[in-house]
Amino acid sequence: MAMTTRALVLGGGGPVGIAWESGLIAGFAQAGVDLGAADFTLGTSAGAFVGARLAMGADARLLADPILTEAERRPPSPATDADRKPADLAELMRLMGEAQSGMGNPAEARARIGAFALAADTLGEEDFLNTFGRSFAGLAPDAWPERGFACTAVDAQDGAFQLWTQASGVGISRAVASSCSVPGVYPPVTLLGRRYIDGGMRSSTNADMAAGYDVVVVVAVRLGAAGGAALERIAARFEEEVQLLQDGGGTVVTIIPDEASVEAFGPNLMDFRRRADAARAGLEQGRVQAAVLKEIWG
Q: Which residues are catalytic?
A: 45, 198
Pair 43, 76: CB distance under 8 Å: no
Do 19 and 272 meet the contact criterion of CB atoms below 8 Å apart?
Answer: no
Contact status, residue 241 vs residue 205, Cβ threshold 8 Å: yes
Give the containing element (helix H, strand E) for 164. Answer: strand 161-164
Helix (H) or strand (E) holding 149: strand 148-155
Euclidean distance between CA atoms 229 and 97, whole angstroms? 8
Closest CA to 23 of 298, 283, 250: 283
- Ramachandran region of residue 215, left (φ > 0), alpha (ψ -120 to 50) or beta? beta
The distance from CA 297 to its chain's CA centroid, rounded to whole angstroms, is 21
CB atoms within 10 A of CB 61: 16
Task: Report the candidate in 125, 122, 127, 172 with the shortest Cα–Cα distance to residue 147.
Answer: 172
